[in-house]
């Protein structure tokens, strides 16, 4: 039985002699031809491309349904409601530098209240953060960014803090109600911002 690889190689050599090609091109042509033959005959298997499937981390989350809105939250977070304010809480246990066990609590607050139909997002932001402190409100305005909440216009606010404190929120207005979804207090839970953003992604306005 003849060796096809040798035949292919010799055929290329005759071709390049006729064309007067450089030696490096000769080597490349022979390598490509033999490689193609080996792949064709199954002696070399090319690596298969693997498709990565994304995992929906919120698939098993619980659903909270309120008036004109709903959202999902992790099953290991506690939830409590006080009038128009909903608190999502997660306790985080750790040992401090003295070796003493401590507990910190991370909280995500979702509040809503009736507002006038003429109220703009900027006015709603002012109602929430202008508490007699012009410096605070100046910071809020500086770090406010336009975003979307369930496809509706919204503002996202992050105020730099210290000692693990954070003031971060997303506000929106829908059908005569102002909404404020914010992280409260110390960032005790390591991935609280990830959880916060996932809750925002599940937030829906309903009729």
Looking at residue 72, its pLDDT comes to: 96
CA dihedral 24, 28, 29, 32 (to 10 degrees): 170
pLDDT of residue 93: 75
Per-chain mean pLDDT for the chain: 78
Q: Considering the chain, what percentage of its residues have pLDDT values greater than 70?
A: 65
Q: Per the structure block, which two tokens stand in for 171?
A: 């506000």
Instruction: Please indicate whether residue 142 or residue 114 has the higher confidence score (pLDDT).
Output: 114
pLDDT over threshold 70, residue 154: yes
- Tokens, residue 69: 């809105």
Closest to 194 in 3D by CA, of 55, 53, 66, 58: 58
CATH 3.40.1000.10 location in the chain? 62-205
Average pLDDT of the segment spanning 83-89: 92
* Higher pLDDT among residues 121 and 57, named by residue: 121
d(CA 182, CA 196): 8
pLDDT digits (tens, 9 = 90+) for 162-192: 445 557 899 999 999 999 999 876 555 667 8
d(CA 147, CA 181): 13
Task: State residue 132's pLDDT score.
Answer: 63
Report for 51-60, 99-108, 183-192: range of highest mean pLDDT: 99-108
Q: Pick the residue with more confidence: 63 or 2?
A: 63
Number of neighbours of residue 110 by Cβ within 10 angstroms: 23
Q: What CATH code would you report for 62-205? A: 3.40.1000.10
With a cut of 80, say whether residue 8 has pLDDT above it.
no
What's the mean pLDDT in 105-117?
A: 90
Phi first, then psi: give them for residue 203, nearest 5 degrees: -70, 130
Q: Which two tokens stand for residue 82?
A: 């006080």
């Amino acid at each position: 039985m003849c060796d096809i690889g040798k035949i292919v190689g010799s055929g290329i050599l005759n071709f390049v002699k006729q064309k007067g090609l450089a030696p490096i091109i000769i080597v490349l042509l022979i390598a490509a031809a033999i490689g193609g033959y080996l792949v064709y005959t199954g002696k070399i298997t090319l690596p298969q491309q693997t498709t990565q499937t994304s995992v929906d981390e919120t698939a098993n989350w619980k659903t909270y349904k309120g008036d004109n809105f709903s959202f999902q939250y992790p099953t290991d977070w506690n939830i409590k409601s006080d009038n128009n304010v909903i608190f999502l809480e997660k306790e985080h246990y750790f040992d401090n530098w003295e070796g003493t066990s401590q507990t910190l609590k991370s909280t995500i607050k979702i509040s809503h209240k009736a507002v006038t139909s003429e109220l703009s997002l900027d006015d709603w932001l002012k109602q929430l953060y202008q508490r007699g402190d012009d410096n605070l409100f100046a910071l809020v305005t500086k770090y406010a960014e336009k975003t979307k909440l369930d496809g509706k216009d919204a503002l996202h606010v992050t105020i730099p803090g210290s000692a693990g404190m954070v003031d971060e929120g997303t506000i929106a207005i829908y059908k005569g109600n102002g909404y404020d979804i914010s992280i409260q207090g110390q960032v005790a839970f390591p991935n609280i911002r990830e959880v916060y953003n996932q809750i925002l992604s599940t937030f829906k306005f309903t009729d």
